[in-house]
Amino acid sequence: MAKSNSVFVCGSCGAEFSKWQGKCPECGAWNSIQETVAQSYTPKVNSGVLMNRMRGFSGEISQKVVPLNSVELSSVPRIPSGFNELDRVLGGGIVPGSVVLIGGNPGAGKSTLLLQVVCHLASRVRVLYITGEESLQQVAMRANRLGCNTAGVKIATETSIEMILAMAEKEKPQILIVDSIQVMHLDTISSAPGSVSQVREGAAALTQFAKQNNVATFVIGHVTKDGTIAGPKILEHCVDCSLLLEGESDSRFRTLRCKKNRFGAINEIGIFAMVEKGMREVSNPSAIFLNRSDVVSSGSLVMVVWEGSRPLLVELQALVDYCQYGNPRRLTLGTEANRLSMLLAVLHKHGGLSLGDHDVFINVVGGVKVEETSADLPLILSLLSSYRNSPIDRDLISFGEIGLNGEVRPVTQGTERLQEAYKHGFKQAIIPFDNNPRKPIGDMKIYPVKTLQEALNLMH
């Protein structure tokens, strides 16, 4: 028999508890635990009786067990979205039957990007746009302002999952847009829209419909204050692709970053610019982020990071100043704060430079968030440049990971990074010794180093 129990579920990590708590013991989030109703089922027979019945099963098994190497590999045709940057992040285009979750801060451009996509695709495939947060007039006004061709775009305003699936069953679209999952609800669940149970079951229903009917579904999701997708963690597990649209409110550039992709590489990024006519893709992002000032100043260095399947050149700025109040600050924008603290300790231990009485500020120009360790070496070199007030040559680039023993470790795709830098006019490079290319790259001067001290000696 089925009986109804109340459980408390954390909206950040999905952990379940028997009673409410202010702080989740699993992920440490505050006020994220909500009450929901769970169905628990008690089997009528014990496990021993069940195993005996299974041994005596004489029915026909619907699914057959086959060798993995006998499975036929058929290429799935992808649908071009009209944006090369979006296709890159998706792994080559939109896969029929896939479910894509797009999150981002309010005003980042999630609805704008998907509206442009469906208007572009409406002339070739059947599309259905479901909005639960805006009226039809609001969406039409935005499409008119963006100059989109709305012919062939089917749109409806609805928040009931059952009604949305009924509309999709009737219209039979190839592309379905749901904006957004946090305002949708199932009539069979009594909790409010946006709760853990509503988001979980609503996403599961949309995913099941997409798989059964081969409909590519895009779901827009809200984010929490720390930038992660709001709702239970199972929301990201049940979708095929999870994307995050990042961008500062005072910058017109947006970064579409892939967090999960069953049809392509993760950590792939696409660069867009928010202009008057909507989202416009940036085909050469390195040229945008390298728009440096003509004034040569200390603490500025260009590094080459690897994002997904391509190199990206960004400018790293460091400011080291004597602390006047006895409580030095450590502030980072675009890099990890804990890694900065570690690198400062390595610089003191193996480089002989103590910045314990100095304020340290790090900034990655353009709002790019660097998550890989190749930024370690350029970060330390820029710190030294600012501390000595000694400018770095404008044609110098660097990349490399720093170990706790002061060694400079190699990074992936070293040759490709150097080739990208050379195409943008850089003539010098300080890189790990193991990343030294076998063949010369034009007339670029390469300085391979094994230890942090060797890199610091090159800055004299």
Query: Under 8 Å CB-to-CB from 16, ≥6 apart: which residues?
Result: 7, 8, 9, 10, 38
pTM of the model: 0.77
Give the strand pairing for 396-398 and 310-322: unpaired
For residues 23 and 76, give the distance between their C-alpha atoms in angstroms, rounded to a whole number: 45
DSSP string of 83-114, one letter each residue: -HHHHHHHTSSBPTT-EEEEEE-TTSSHHHHH
pLDDT per residue as tens, the chain (460 positions):
344 567 887 876 777 888 888 888 888 888 878 777 665 444 455 556 656 655 666 667 767 888 988 887 766 789 999 999 999 999 999 999 999 999 988 888 999 999 999 999 999 999 999 999 999 999 999 999 999 999 999 999 999 999 999 999 999 999 999 998 999 999 888 778 888 888 888 999 999 999 999 999 999 998 877 677 776 777 888 999 999 998 776 678 888 989 899 998 887 889 898 889 999 998 888 877 776 666 778 999 999 999 878 889 999 999 999 988 888 999 999 899 999 999 999 999 999 999 999 999 999 987 788 888 999 999 999 999 999 999 999 999 999 999 999 999 999 999 999 999 999 999 999 999 999 999 999 999 999 999 999 999 998 7
For residues 151 and 157, give the distance between their C-alpha atoms in angstroms, rounded to a whole number: 18
* Assigned token pair, 370: 């660097």
| Closest to 302 in 3D by CA, of 151, 417, 435 | 417
Q: Is 184 exposed, middle or buried (0-12, 13-18, 19+ CB in 10 A)?
A: buried
Query: Under 8 Å CB-to-CB from 285, ≥6 apart: which residues?
Result: 271, 312
